[in-house]
Amino acid sequence: MRLAATDFGGSGRGFLLIHGLGGTRQVWEALAPRLEGRAVAVDLRGHGESPDGPWDWEAVLDDLDETAVHFGLDNPVVVGHSLGGILAGRWATRHPECPAAVSLDGHRSATTHPHNFEGLPAKEVEAGLKQLNAMFDAQLEMITRPSREITGALRTAPDMLDALPLFRQVTAPFLLVLATRNLPVPPDLLPLMDAHRAGLRRDVEGIRTQEIDATHGLVTERPAEVAAIVNQFVSNRVRA
């Protein structure tokens, strides 16, 4: 599948940029020019201006492989946001020679397994998840892309529910950037969001992490700071 893509130009090391679920390559417009190299951003299948297609992780990685070849990105650094961050981890397991991969707040769905929440009674977690799932169901009714087939497949996919086991398999240099602020949610869901983050902090042992003072929308909220984190991580671990 030929993906819609934007080549932001530049020279040197190649970067392949992958957006999150429901996003498009436009999310990288402020960040990509700040990367120290040549950045190419894609619209995943079923998103933006790319064609529709069923969601299969290996097929999506094939799409990304073909994009890298098309643009002459030889063994690029892969940076992904949210779903794209999980794909960055999958890319690095497929390509152990990958010079570096970065996941920007891509780790676990907010509606993950109850045992991934820390410090909140089980009954409150159950009630909060029921409310949050209802909110997500209502939001999905309002969107046309990606398709219900894709969103339905991803909402229950093991990697979306918890990508930390995947990240522990990565042997290439890998960084998980964690946002420390909540997205706007009803006040009664704030304890659930705090418990979600506490569970992440409890469980990321063995994975290189860095926190940033931003919400899940860190790519557009703090593009300069995020780019600096990526540039520093890559330059410290990769020879140009």
- At 43-58, the pLDDT tens digits run 999 999 999 999 999 9
pLDDT digit string, tens, across residues 181-193: 998 899 999 999 9
Angle at 185 between CA 179 and CA 187, to 5 degrees: 115
| Percentage with pLDDT > 70 across the chain | 99
Domain boundaries, the chain: 5-237
**Residue 117: what pLDDT?**
98
**Residue 240: what pLDDT?**
44
User: For residue 81, is pLDDT > 70?
Assistant: yes
| The two three-digit tokens of residue 216, written as one number | 């899940």
Please say whether the structural domain 5-237 has been given the CATH code 3.40.50.1820. Answer: yes
For the chain, the average pLDDT equals 95
**Residue 237: what pLDDT?**
82
* Pair 48, 4: CB distance under 8 Å: yes
pLDDT digit string, tens, across residues 205-240: 999 999 999 999 999 999 999 999 999 999 998 754
pLDDT digit string, tens, across residues 112-146: 999 999 999 999 999 999 999 999 888 888 888 89
User: For residue 65, is pLDDT > 70?
Assistant: yes
**Residue 239: what pLDDT?**
55
